[in-house]
Amino acid sequence: MELNIDGKIIKLSEAGWLEDLSEWSEAVAHGIAANEKVELTDEHWDVINLAREYFQEHGTVAEPRKFSKLMKDRFGDDRSDSKYIYALFPYGLIKSANKIAGLPRPKGCS
């Protein structure tokens, strides 16, 4: 699987995960989001940017409970539960938001 972003071929795994994390960009995120049937809004970017910040700081993706707490701390109760995340990303934080954010595929995640 691959994306063509401004004439550059970006390799994705069979499941749509970015093969080379250093190739991530907002344009790549839009391409992956299109594959996931997600149209990115400012609220999506809040989740994506927070997920990327956590990964850069800790070297791992945030577990859903931890991420929910981070969302609550930054954006309040209304934007922190799993129902909110699933409304934005139909396959959830791990399978959809992290994929669009260009983060590595967690072990055991298809």
Indicate the average pLDDT of the chain: 92
Q: Which fold is adopted by the domain 42-100?
A: Arc Repressor Mutant, subunit A (1.10.10)
CB atoms within 10 A of CB 70: 17
Band of residue 19 on the pLDDT scale cut at 50, 70, 90: very high
Q: Do residues 35 and 11 make contact, with C-beta atoms less than 8 angstroms apart? A: no
Cα 99 versus chain centre, distance? 4
List pLDDT tens digits, range 41-58.
999 999 999 999 999 999
Structural element, H or E, at residue 76: none
Domain ranges of the chain: 2-35, 42-100
Give the catalytic positions in this structure.
109
Beta bridge partners of 8: 5
Q: For residue 86, what are the β-bridge partners? A: none
Number of neighbours of residue 14 by Cβ within 10 angstroms:
7
Q: Mutual orientation of helices 42-58 and 64-75 as an angle, nearest 10°?
A: 120
Q: What is the pTM of this model?
A: 0.90
Q: How does DSSP classify residue 54?
A: H
The candidate with the shortest Cα–Cα distance to 84, out of 37, 41, 25, is 41
Class of domain 2-35: alpha beta
